[in-house]
Amino acid sequence: MTIKVTAESFIKNPVLKAELSARFPDVLFWDRNTGLTEFCLDAEVLLVGREKIDATFLSQCPQLKHIAKYGVGLDNIDLLACHERGISIGFTPGVNKTSVAEITLGFMLGAAHNVFYTGTALKNGEWIKNGGMQLSGKTIGIIGVGNVGKELIRMLHVFQCKIMVNDIINQDEFYLSNNLIESSKTEIYFNADLISVHVPLTAETHKFISHEAFTAMKSEAVLINTCRGEVVDHEALKTALHQNKIGAYISDVFDPEPYSDEELLKHPRFFGTPHIAGNSTEAVLSMGRSAIHHIMEYVINK
33 CB-side CA count, 13 A: 2
DSSP letter, residue 230: G
Helices (H), 7-96: 8-12, 14-23, 36-40, 55-59, 79-84
The residue among 64, 71, 53 whose CA lies nearest residue 8 is: 71
* Beta-bridge partner residues of 271: 250
Sign of torsion over alpha carbons 10, 14, 17, 20: negative
| Residues with catalytic function | 228, 257, 275
The C-alpha atoms of residue 6 and residue 84 are separated, in whole angstroms, by 23
Within a 10 A sphere around the Cβ of 80, how many other Cβ atoms? 9
Give one DSSP letter per residue of 142-194, joined into a string: EE--SHHHHHHHHHHGGGT-EEEEE-SS--HHHHHHTT-EE--HHHHHHH-SE
Rounded to the nearest 5 percent, the helix, strand and coil shares of the chain are 40, 15, 45
3-state class of 88 per DSSP? strand
Amino acid letter, residue 126: E
Sign of torsion over alpha carbons 236, 156, 284, 41: negative
Q: What are the Cα distances from residue 23, in Å, to 3, 13, 20?
A: 11, 16, 5
The C-alpha atoms of residue 8 and residue 50 are separated, in whole angstroms, by 9
